[in-house]
Structure 1
Amino acid sequence: MAESWWEGYDPVEFANYLDKKRAAAAPSPPAPAAEAEPKSPPRDAPSDVTPDDLELPFDPWDANRVEIAQYIWGEGYCGPGGPEHIISMCKLLALSPEMSLLEIGANLGGPARTLADKYGTWVTGYETSERLVKLANEKSLMAGLAKKADVRHYSTGSTEGFGRHFDRALAKESLFTIENKANILGLVEEHLKPSGLFLITDFVLGSDQVSGKESFRTWRDKESEKRRPYMVTAQELAGLVKKARFNVRVNEDVSATYIDLINRAWAGADKVAAQLARKEDSEDLLKALLKEAEFWSNRARMLESGDLRLWRILASKRSEKPSMLSDW
């Protein structure tokens, strides 16, 4: 197995590395002021977000984290899988300019813009972070795709629909943070046109026994920095999809590909740190980089251990009439 980016580069060593970079780039300290001025609120706990905004007391996607995500994953992306990967995985959807696509978990809108640009498809994305929604639509506007890659805010517990019907649907690593999966799957099915396709990639438990492990509980607690994970096994996820009146056409483990995407993206972490150390606000950005490195290190370890898997499901909406095809 190829060496992972964090092997020999654990969080403690990475923190020391960043400290050295920061110290090398820092100017000489100024003379102490006669009276210290009050400090502004930290960027990772924005004062403009109220406790009722989302499921967390503040939006976890602050300005620093958004910037770091794009350094690591690419412009408009918040996680593994840039434009080439999105295009490759979505070939299963057979998209065209005449089609519309519903996306659950749009983040910064990178996948939506990639698909709109590549296939001419009309994409409507839904995202829980109001900050990401705002930034995603700004990026779509700048790319000339404001209408074709529109991102809207939604709540994962909402029972409201999506306002229209779509030819296709996509949920990329977003269902595992939703407690009532039956509800969201039912809403997607309700808003898909007859014979519509639904592509899902999501984190699942490697087995029924994983939830009792200490390693899983530790990972789950770290995951709560974003959204609390509500985990099921691959078999349970497929079962929920079928109960929502879908036929499962593809049902497979794609963890190896995902691990490779993580490793390749973080292979240049030292270069990113060097770039950030030269910026005026390097202190906060370097801290955000370290936090994100620890986050993805923990996630990748769970995947490599087999306790966590990345699963892909392609489902089709069942016809109103009985089908001659079996649900395979």
Structure 2
Amino acid sequence: MSLKVRMMAWWQGYDPADVEKLLARKAALQQSNVPEDPPKPPASPAKPAPDVSPEDLELPFDPWDSNRVEIAQYIWGEGYCGPGGPEHVISVSKLLALSPEMSLLEIGANLGGPARTLADKFGAWVTGYETSERLVKLANEKSLMAGMAKKADIKHFSTEEIDSFGRNFDRAFAKEAFFTIENKARMMGLVEAHLKPSGLFLMTDFVLGSDNVLGKESYRQWRESEQEKRRPFMVTSAELVDLAKKARFNIRVSENITPTYIDLINKAWAGADKVAAQLSRQEDGDALLQALLKEAEFWSLRRRMMESGDLQVWRLLASKKSEKPSMMSNW
């Protein structure tokens, strides 16, 4: 079965093996001139959930190997590991009102694409934190090559072990980073503690569509699938807002941006067949094509969860409460 057909099968939610059987059956029937019954969509999920316990998923490895890093940039753009390139990052970050005098803390910096975009567009001084050592190394190499080593500096950290970011910042930003953090309350409080008075915190993150999703088999399969490289620790949008409030943040914006996010995924993968054709001509094309297929499966599974409403992408803008009481509080 061709690469294009395999990718289309995954993207439409079918198991490529089942589709391949259907195609073989169709070819056999055509050769024998036997009338064919209308084909039925395969009943099995795109990929059965592995027979493992959730604890088995937290292995001490870096999910970002060199092939996956290369494929991510083919699909999402230079320096990016997921949906939303420079234009999207600039658009959502306008809420932060950044300026050249400001410093920005970023949680989940990946390859440093958003950090360099914000430093270049708004002149801000960005310090990013990332859990993947490979991505940190590559991100700083890219910042150095772009002449932005100081303005977009990426550091390695452990979300469960870090207890200080070393300094206070004017702004904070987290792009789909909190959903893999188990102790969200602790990290939310750490960000708040390292923001200057009246500082702003902008985050986009995956959340559950409702509490009922937790009991669904489709959710269990997604959460425990090998496609999710890090185990997600999910909350609803209401719970995420509540965590921010308990960390002493004022909520300024709370909105569902799932349709926009799905559109970003669809537009990026629309040219996947051209990427595949380009990769096939490279010396290491076979390995990169396999990485492309895995990434396609990874994002098609997430997209289906979002289209069903079980998974949403939420945007929050929160402000740190002033350390001094306002004049209004005395009235």
Structure-1-length-normalised TM-score? 0.83
* Conservation of the 8 A alpha-carbon contact between 2:106 and 2:172: yes
Question: 1:97 is matched with which residue?
Answer: 100
Say how many residue pairs are matched: 287
Give the 3 Å change call, closer, same or farther, for CA 145–295 of structure 1 in structure 2.
same
1:30 matched residue in structure 2: none
Query: Which structure has the highest helix share of the two?
Result: 2
SS at match of 2:225: helix
Q: For 1:189 and 1:174, how far apart are their aligned partners in 2?
A: 16
For residue 221 of structure 1, report the CA deviation from its aligned partner.
1.3
Give the AA of the match of 2:279: L
Partner residue, 1:110: 113
- For 2:140 and 2:15, the matched residues in 1 are separated by 36
2:268 aligns with one of 260, 265, 275: 265
* Corresponding residue for residue 291 of structure 2: 288
Q: Which residue of 1 aligns with 2:26?
A: none
Q: Does 1:309 find its partner at 2:320? A: no
Post-superposition offset of 1:7: 3.5
Query: How big is each residue's C-alpha offset from its partner over 1:198-241, in whole Å with a ceiling of 9 and x where there is no partner?
Result: 00100000001001100001111126642100000000000000
Aligned to 1:219: 222
Match of 1:256 among 246, 256, 259: 259
Out of 171, 187, 204, the residue aligned to residue 184 of structure 1 is 187
Distance 1:111 1:59 in 2: 21
| Aligned 8 A contact 2:9 2:15 in 1 | no
Q: Deviations over 1:21-67 (max 9, x none)?
A: xxxxxxxxxxxxxxxxxxxxxxxxxxxxxxxxxx5332100000000
Does structure 2 conserve the Cα–Cα contact (< 8 Å) formed by 1:14 and 1:290? no
Query: CA 1:323–1:7 in structure 2 vs 1: closer, same or farther (change >3 Å)?
Result: farther
- C-alpha spacing 1:198/1:68, structure 2 compared with 1 (3 Å): same
Consecutive aligned runs of 4 or more in structure 1 exceeding 6 Å deviation: 13-16
Closer, same or farther in 2 for the Cα pair 1:190/1:105, shift >3 Å?
same
> Which string of whole-angstrom CA distances, capped at 9 and with x for unpartnered residues, describes residues 100-123 of structure 1?
000000000000000001111000
Give the distance between the partners of 2:311 and 2:73, measured in 1 at CA: 25
Question: Does the aligned pair in 1 maintain the 2:250–2:319 contact within 8 Å?
Answer: yes
Task: Say whether the 8 Å CA contact 1:60–1:225 is kept in structure 2.
Answer: no
1:184 counterpart SS class: helix
Q: Which structure has the bigger radius of gyration?
A: 2
Q: 1:203, 1:310 within 8 Å by CA — same for their partners in 2?
A: yes
Q: 2:164 aligns with which of 156, 161, 169?
A: 161
Which of these residues, 266, 270, 281, is aligned with residue 278 of structure 1?
Answer: 281
Q: 2:131 aligns with which of 123, 128, 133?
A: 128
Contact 2:9–2:19 (CA under 8 A) maintained in structure 1:
no
**Structure 1 residue 90: Cα displacement:** 0.2
What residue in structure 2 maps to residue 59 of structure 1?
A: 62
Shift of 1:190: 0.5
In angstroms, what is the RMSD of aligned CA positions? 2.4
